[in-house]
């Protein structure tokens, strides 16, 4: 009995220490919610892209940027599309805003402009060519159509551009259709056929060394023949760059090390954003929070870290966050794409836990103002990153308040209306 009593006392002591520590964590951060209330700007949760929110965001956004990144915690959240559209609408009165960049392949995205400005192509087919199901949803169609209307209303179009390089197909088709000699067109057709046979390997970045070596050698031969055309045609040069980046990303040397491949991809995406910059113009770029944050993410260096290093304060970024709800993604257990993947609640160590305690279901705040209010007090050092596809591991170490210039939080969100839902 004495031994059991001693063990019980030890257990009680350990439990009391645990709960005391948790209480201390909550106590240290209890000031966060109060101070957040003083800097948070409440938004209308009923219509995220509505006129009330557009007017509010127009009054609080900092216009002193050359590139503005607008992130998302998942690629499958309905409300994030609407919130981004609301921000674009708020900035549309600035005629220096001329471009919207997408985390999608360069050549494929160019088709969006032909659709909006010339009525060419079928929008759903164009989105399918991205090979990224997150774009194949009603919400993104709405965003694209609205951007087209905004351009017509203000008399100056906003052009989409892609800054990713995960597909070879459209760039090779564009090169084939650029009025090249028959032998070059035939060689490009052979490459397209070979990639068609390796569709799954391309999608998962799993080209074998033998397949890659053969494709790379064939590519070098045909691209060498295109040099004279590339010297006189900017579109040919851009498609060659897109395709060469695809090869660089899918080199098995990089694919065998995920962290290395991630750095390669983000550095190339940053290069592509910088290549689109023009004097006296501004652009918005849309991608995952982890790509756009100003600091390296937990996996690798980010686009945002490269852009912040190059542009300084001319690069700004807004993170979009959520506390509860669902998101759309491929779920291995369900064996299909579903909008019922759960956004799990965070604990007291996460930003989202504290954000959810505000009596405002949707709000925006500038991180610099909150950090000033919280001087000398600890801030949560974990926040949600929902990677592509379903994941049970949703929270990672990171400083949300250093990573972004602003945060737009939506307490409860739903999965987007994917065209693949059954």
Question: How do residues 166-191 score in pLDDT, each as one tens digit?
Answer: 999 999 999 999 999 999 999 999 99
Q: Please determine, for residue 343, whether its predicted confidence score (pLDDT) is greater than 60.
A: yes
Q: Across residues 92-110, what is the average pLDDT?
A: 97
- pLDDT 10s digits, 106-135: 999 999 999 999 999 999 999 999 999 999
Q: Please determine, for residue 22, whether its predicted confidence score (pLDDT) is greater than 70.
A: no
% residues pLDDT > 90 (the chain)? 83
CA distance 206 to 36: 45
**How much is the mean pLDDT over the chain?**
91
Residue 31's pLDDT is what? 85
Q: Across residues 24-45, what is the average pLDDT?
A: 79
- Is the backbone of residue 366 left (phi > 0), alpha (psi -120 to 50) or beta? beta
**What separation in angstroms does the CA of 56 have from each of 53, 95, 240?**
5, 19, 43
CA distance 42 to 196: 49
The model's confidence at residue 30, banded by pLDDT at 50, 70 and 90, is low
Q: Across residues 194-211, what is the average pLDDT?
A: 92
The model's confidence at residue 7, banded by pLDDT at 50, 70 and 90, is very low
Residue 122 is encoded by which pair of tokens? 């079928």
The model's confidence at residue 388, banded by pLDDT at 50, 70 and 90, is confident
Residue 376's pLDDT is what? 76
Q: Please determine, for residue 327, whether its predicted confidence score (pLDDT) is greater than 90.
A: yes
% residues pLDDT > 70 (the chain)? 92
- pLDDT 10s digits, 62-93: 999 999 999 999 999 999 999 999 999 999 99
CA distance 304 to 262: 13
Q: Across residues 283-309, what is the average pLDDT?
A: 96
Residue 231's pLDDT is what? 81
Q: Please determine, for residue 6, whether its predicted confidence score (pLDDT) is greater than 90.
A: no
φ, ψ of residue 230 to 5 degrees: the values are: -65, -30
**What separation in angstroms does the CA of 211 have from each of 186, 201, 202, 206, 238?**
19, 10, 11, 10, 25
Residue 422's pLDDT is what? 81
The model's confidence at residue 256, banded by pLDDT at 50, 70 and 90, is low
Residue 27's pLDDT is what? 42
Q: Across residues 40-49, what is the average pLDDT?
A: 97
Q: Please determine, for residue 264, whether its predicted confidence score (pLDDT) is greater than 70.
A: yes
């Amino acid at each position: 009995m004495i031994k059991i009593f001693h063990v019980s006392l030890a257990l009680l002591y350990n439990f009391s220490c645990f709960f005391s520590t948790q209480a201390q964590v909550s106590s240290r951060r209890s000031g966060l919610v109060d101070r957040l209330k003083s800097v948070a700007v409440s938004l209308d949760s009923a219509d995220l892209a509505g006129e009330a929110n557009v007017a509010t965001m127009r009054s609080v956004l900092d216009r002193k940027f050359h590139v503005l990144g607008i992130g998302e915690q998942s690629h499958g959240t309905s409300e994030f599309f609407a919130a981004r559209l609301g921000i674009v609408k708020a900035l549309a009165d600035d005629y220096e805003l001329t471009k919207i960049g997408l985390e999608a392949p360069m050549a494929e995205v160019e088709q969006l402009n032909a659709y909006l400005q010339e009525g060419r192509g079928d929008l759903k087919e164009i989105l399918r060519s991205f090979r990224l199901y997150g774009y194949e949803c009603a919400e993104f169609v709405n965003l694209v159509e609205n951007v087209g209307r905004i351009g017509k209303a203000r008399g100056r179009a906003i052009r989409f551009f892609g800054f990713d390089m995960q597909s070879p197909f459209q760039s090779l088709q564009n090169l084939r259709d650029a009025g090249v000699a028959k032998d070059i067109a035939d060689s490009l057709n052979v490459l397209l056929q070979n990639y068609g046979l390796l569709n799954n390997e391309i999608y998962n970045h799993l080209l074998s060394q033998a397949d890659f070596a053969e494709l790379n050698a064939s590519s070098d031969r045909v691209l060498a023949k295109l040099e004279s055309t590339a010297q006189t045609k900017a579109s040919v040069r851009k498609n060659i760059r897109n395709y060469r980046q695809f090869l660089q990303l899918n080199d098995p040397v990089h694919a065998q090390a995920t962290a290395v491949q991630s750095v390669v991809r983000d550095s190339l995406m940053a290069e592509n954003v910088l290549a689109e910059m023009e004097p006296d113009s501004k652009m918005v770029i849309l991608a995952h929070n982890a790509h756009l944050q100003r600091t390296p993410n937990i996996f690798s260096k980010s686009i945002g870290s490269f852009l912040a290093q190059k542009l300084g304060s001319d690069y700004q970024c807004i993170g979009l966050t959520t506390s509860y709800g669902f998101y759309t993604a491929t779920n291995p257990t369900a064996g299909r794409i579903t909008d019922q993947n759960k956004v799990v609640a965070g604990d007291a160590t996460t930003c989202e836990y504290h954000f959810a305690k505000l009596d405002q279901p949707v709000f925006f705040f500038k991180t610099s103002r909150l950090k000033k209010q919280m001087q000398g007090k600890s801030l949560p050092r974990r926040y949600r990153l929902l990677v592509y596809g379903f994941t049970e591991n949703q929270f990672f170490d990171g400083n949300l308040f250093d990573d972004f210039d602003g945060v737009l939080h939506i307490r409860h969100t739903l999965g987007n209306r994917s065209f693949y839902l059954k």
